Structure 1
Amino acid sequence: MTTSSRRSALRLFGAVGAVAMATTSTSPAFGGETARQVPEDLRPGGALDRLAAELAAKDQFSGSMAVIRRGWTVLRRSYGMANRQTGVRNGPRTSFGLASVTKLFTAVAIHHLAQRGRLRYGDRIGAHLDGFPAPITEMVTIHHLLTHTSGLGDFRLLPGFREASRHWSSHAEVLDGTVGFIRRSELAFAPGTGNLYSNSGYCLLGAIVAAASGRSYYDYVAESVFDAAGMRDSGFFTKPRWRSDSRIARPYARLPGVSERTDNLDEHLYVGLPAGDAFATCADLERFVHALMSGKLLTPPYAALMLGAKVPLSGAAFVGYGAVSALEGGQWVHGHGGGSTLGASTSLEVFPDGGWTVVVLCNYEPPGAEPVARLARQIIVAQ
């Protein structure tokens, strides 16, 4: 079972054995004015490249990373093992568990339905879902769910969830069973009066996607996000596929009381949820960003609505309608991070003013991706 943290969300979109492999790809057409605008520290051999290699050598990073500017690949690296037992290395086509970066896909599906007139941001839960106690049905809105201001918390902490979820073996059982547990929740505060990072809220958004579209949440996201963006190596992969597909990185982490990292695949649900645990490659997340920012996934007004600051967190960081945004160095940074104590640390950051996208995906527990993503951000905002 994945454990995502509020800390990783506050750090925006945020990625370890001895180095088994390092790969680099830079566009042969990269040059001219674009090249002159790239800091040396982001190029091959620069400070970011050296940091990732050092962390991998210390068994603190295993995964893939990519730095892109206006469509040109500046730096692309892969380190470590996707599967230690079979000797498969991480590479550019390796898909990683995304943890809470998945919430971006759920948010796009909600905005896509809003764009189609199938729901409104002020809709109460009761307009789309039934069986919830009156305070939730009558007070919690889609706006609250998107902004983590609903008062709902984390379904994984509810009594009995862990035991029951071990027996679910279909997409419907996983989502419907999770929503069933959330129906037993109590609000931590009146909706709109506080902020509590809510995996439960994003699972309910997934259920609303299904109710408003008349289709499975998983089918709707596959069509309106993955297929629409050309994300050919991404999806909500089931546990059986995860076991058998060599292109999907296994999750490795040091569990309490264990000195060595172990493969924790068996501790995961049969399939991920709207709050976390879809899979993607770095290249596919680049495609996702391009499709979102170019109007392919959402019309520009709805994309701007998704990314725009809504609720203050700390400093100059804000919750948006799916993304977390921050003002750093006089420019906006949008995206999300994710983390699992079972073996995932992920970061997706977009810098629209400078045309930068930074993706860091790791199949080790946090802080894996965070030091790499943090240094990339510092270099970009300082230029």
Structure 2
Amino acid sequence: MKNKIENIFTEWNKSGDFSGVFSVSNNKREIIFEAACGYRNMSESLENNIETSFGVASGTKILTGIAVCKLIEDQNLNLDDRVIEILDFNFPYFSNGITVKHLLTHTSGVPDYFDEEITDDYESIWNDRPVYKITELEHFLPLFQNQKMKFEPGTRYAYSNGGYILLGLIIEKVSGQSFRGYVTEKILKPCGMNNSGFFRTNMLPANTALGHIYDRNLEGFRTNIFSIPIVGASDGGFYTNAKDMNILWDHLMNKDILIKDMKDQMLLPHVFAEQRGENINYGLGVYINQIEKEIMNYHIIGYDPGVVFFSVFYPKSGIIATALANTGQIDTYPLLVELNKIIYS
């Protein structure tokens, strides 16, 4: 298997454009294959290494899903609780029927501050909004709280970062802690994810990759420090490395970060492929690749300017694979597709 994985990685990266880390481990967390390429800091020629931490963009949503499930587990929240009964903010056009489950499964109809059905230019959101002022979850609200619903809750699927911002605010309201504080206390520390956190882009720890964007006008790479919020939120912006992703999957799948009933609820397909218009189901913050009744894998993905990411768990074999990149020069998703073919065979 090592040779097969190395071959697909080499073929996928034949352009040599990958800047990041790709790591595959078995069910005993022994490394099957790993590679580190490119630079975590291009201007200083500091190379990426296996321990380097990277931004994961929307890969953060799995943490939000786990955090909500922990509050439900502790009987402080329910999937069917209505958002309007929890949050005190003004949402003049939002349906009274939006539930926590609707938000988790992207079926709420809540408008998105970055609507991928309309645009893929995430940087443009911040043209007139200083990213260094987006430090709290409520700072995202003016971007979407006064917009009209996209559809009635539960009638269809539409990916919504705005919905996950609301989930973060719900976590803060119910727990009495900041979202980042709750995730750190209840997930990162108990799991021992020591290389992970909601790092500020202007205060990155040692061995953490800067995101780099190729600018055709400038004919070179610039960092993404002005292209994403200065600190991560409940919809994205978390930093981690391959080792800590292994730890997270292990604790979610094999240990006690969630009790079994809650874990099963999180990993249950709640939105099916035909509803999404794609060939992947969706749980509570995680994608589910299912063929007939067999779960082939659980995975998370993330894209931001200067960030490309996936991490996948294969329940049958226990294999975990993670790809973290700090440029958008090459998409990691085709690598996941080729990896699936090897693991499934």
Would you say the 8 A contact 1:293–1:300 is kept in 2?
no
Instruction: Tell me: CA distance 1:317–1:54, structure 2 relative to 1, closer, same or farther (3 Å).
Output: closer
- Give the letter aligned to residue 298 of structure 1: L
- Give the letter aligned to residue 5 of structure 2: L
CA shift for structure 1 position 96:
0.5
Could you tell which deviates more after superposition, 369-378 or 186-195?
A: 369-378
CA shift for structure 1 position 262:
2.9
Would you say the 8 A contact 1:252–1:343 is kept in 2?
yes
Equivalent residue for 1:288, pick from 245, 248, 263: 248
- Give the letter aligned to residue 61 of structure 1: F
What is the distance in 2 between the residues matched to 1:167 and 1:87?
26
Unmatched tracts of structure 2, length 5 or more: 119-123
Match in the other structure for 2:121: none
Q: Deviation string for 1:287-327 (max 9, x for gaps)?
A: 00001112321111111111110111246521111111011
Would you say the 8 A contact 1:349–1:358 is kept in 2?
yes
Match in the other structure for 1:205: 167
CA shift for structure 1 position 118:
0.8
CA shift for structure 1 position 85:
1.1
- Give the letter aligned to residue 108 of structure 1: I
Equivalent residue for 2:149, pick from 187, 199, 204: 187
Q: Deviation string for 1:38-87 (max 9, x for gaps)?
A: xx3xx1xx232134345545233111111112122211211111111112
Instruction: Tell me: CA distance 1:170–1:311, structure 2 relative to 1, closer, same or farther (3 Å).
Output: closer
What is the distance in 1 between the residues matched to 2:221 and 2:8?
22
What is the distance in 2 between the residues matched to 1:59 and 1:77?
12
Would you say the 8 A contact 2:202–2:225 is kept in 1?
no
Equivalent residue for 1:312, pick from 272, 291, 294: 272
Unmatched tracts of structure 1, length 5 or more: 1-39
Match in the other structure for 2:21: 64
Match in the other structure for 1:99: 57
- Give the letter aligned to residue 338 of structure 2: L
CA shift for structure 1 position 111:
0.3
Match in the other structure for 1:361: 324
- How many residues are aligned here? 333
Instruction: Tell me: CA distance 1:236–1:327, structure 2 relative to 1, closer, same or farther (3 Å).
Output: same
Match in the other structure for 1:230: 192
* More helix as a share of residues: 1
What is the distance in 2 between the residues matched to 1:108 and 1:117?
14
CA shift for structure 1 position 171:
3.4
Q: Deviation string for 1:303-362 (max 9, x for gaps)?
A: 11111101112465211111110114944311211112x111111111112211111111
Instruction: Tell me: CA distance 1:211–1:180, structure 2 relative to 1, closer, same or farther (3 Å).
Output: farther
Match in the other structure for 1:347: 310
- Give the letter aligned to residue 356 of structure 1: I
Match in the other structure for 1:132: 90
CA shift for structure 1 position 166:
0.9
Question: Are positions 1:166 and 2:130 aligned together?
Answer: yes
- Give the letter aligned to residue 7 of structure 2: R
Would you say the 8 A contact 1:152–1:198 is kept in 2?
yes
CA shift for structure 1 position 155:
1.1
Would you say the 8 A contact 2:296–2:344 is kept in 1?
no
Question: Are positions 1:178 and 2:140 aligned together?
Answer: yes
CA shift for structure 1 position 168:
4.2
What is the distance in 2 between the residues matched to 1:135 and 1:124?
15
Match in the other structure for 1:88: 46
Q: How does 1:36-47 map to 2 (within 5 A)?
A: 40=1, 43=2, 46-47=3-4
Question: Are positions 1:241 and 2:199 aligned together?
Answer: no
CA shift for structure 1 position 170:
6.8
Q: Deviation string for 1:226-273 (max 9, x for gaps)?
A: 11211100000012213xx34111112334656544322232211011
Question: Are positions 1:264 and 2:228 aligned together?
Answer: no
What is the distance in 1 between the residues matched to 2:329 and 2:307?
7
Q: TM-score, normalised by structure 2?
A: 0.89
Match in the other structure for 2:68: 110
Would you say the 8 A contact 2:300–2:312 is kept in 1?
yes
CA shift for structure 1 position 182:
2.9
Would you say the 8 A contact 2:58–2:303 is kept in 1?
yes
Match in the other structure for 1:50: 7
Match in the other structure for 1:251: 211
Would you say the 8 A contact 2:19–2:326 is kept in 1?
yes
CA shift for structure 1 position 97:
0.5
Match in the other structure for 2:339: 376
Q: CA RMSD in A?
A: 2.2
CA shift for structure 1 position 209:
0.5
Instruction: Tell me: CA distance 1:185–1:128, structure 2 relative to 1, closer, same or farther (3 Å).
Output: same
What is the distance in 2 between the residues matched to 1:147 and 1:137?
16
Match in the other structure for 1:24: none
What is the distance in 2 between the residues matched to 1:256 and 1:191?
41
Would you say the 8 A contact 2:83–2:98 is kept in 1?
yes
Would you say the 8 A contact 1:229–1:296 is kept in 2?
no
Would you say the 8 A contact 1:48–1:372 is kept in 2?
no
CA shift for structure 1 position 374:
1.7
CA shift for structure 1 position 368:
2.6
Could you tell which deviates more after superposition, 311-320 or 144-153?
A: 311-320
